[in-house]
Amino acid sequence: MIDPTHRFTTRVENYVKYRPGYPKAILDLLRQKCGLTPASVIADIGSGTGLSAKLFLANGNRVYGVEPNREMREAGEKELARYPRFVSVAAPAEATTLEDAGMEFVVSGQAFHWFDPERARAEFKRILKPQGWVVLMWNERRVTDTLFLRNYERLLKTYGTDYTAVDHRRIDAAALSAFFGRGGYQVARFGNEQRFDFDGVRGRLLSSSYAPEVDDPNYEPMLAELRRIFDAHNRGGFVAFAYDANIYYGRLI
């Protein structure tokens, strides 16, 4: 398996264009349940191209985007250049280089399944202020809502290089309970959606770390199958990707 810190090196352009952001309803949840304000300082761990950081920067927060992959980090710096309260940090989740007890929130969007959970937990406790919050969130693609989504899931299982092994759905209640510990955690879910023409759905597929690359013998057959299912199931030239934006939040005690 490719080192997780390098898996997206060749995927950056498609990741920027075609990955979903996060619903603004998450901010309302964190205001009500966790006391989020524009003054809260956020560490966004595994910040990638800035999709999760953007949510909090638009809220007025100072965000430290911690990302070990150079190409992803540089794309995030470019995407977020208009936000003066964004600070880019070249570091992994397990050794962020951030100061002790400096953060009100540690957030991770679509990245927790790449971390070493025990080491990341210790690091998050170190950088959080007393009574600080950890917020893990990811967009989980619905796989059975439509014929297109069912066929797309079958395509990933057929052609994905290690799809099952790296799918974030393997982070289950037991893994989350072990990570959050005796403080426990709360769960919230919000709907999210993207609509794509064929170029968009192709880019969405190729943004995934488990999609075969151009030199892989499965690359062309995968795209041929994608074309087939798109042609069979599009409506007016578009297909919809439906997601649950899953939010897990708690304190590390």
At residue 54, the pLDDT reads: 97
The pLDDT of residue 88 is 98
Structure confidence at residue 2 (pLDDT): 45
Amino acid letter at 175? A
Rg (CA), the chain: 18
pLDDT of residue 13: 87
pLDDT for residue 12: 82
- Is this model's pTM higher than 0.75 or not? yes
Report the pLDDT value the prediction gives residue 9, as an integer from 0 to 100.
55
User: Cβ(16)–Cβ(73) under 8 Å?
Assistant: no
pLDDT of residue 192: 96
Per-residue pLDDT tens digits of the chain, which is 253 residues long: 445 555 555 668 888 899 999 999 999 999 999 999 999 999 999 999 999 999 999 999 999 999 999 999 999 999 999 999 999 999 999 999 999 999 999 999 999 988 999 999 999 999 999 999 999 999 999 999 999 999 999 999 999 987 866 555 567 899 999 999 998 999 999 999 999 999 999 999 999 888 998 999 999 999 999 999 999 999 999 999 999 999 999 999 8
Show Cβ contacts of residue 89 under 8 Å, excluding neighbours closer than 6 positions: 64, 65, 66, 67, 96, 97, 98
pLDDT computed for residue 71 by the predictor: 93
Give every CB contact of residue 131 below 8 A, 6+ residues apart in sequence. Answer: 251
Q: What is the token pair recorded at 87?
A: 């600070």
The pLDDT value given to residue 103 = 98
pLDDT of residue 1: 42
Q: What are the structural domains, with CATH classification, of the chain?
A: 4-141+166-192+244-250 (3.40.50.150)
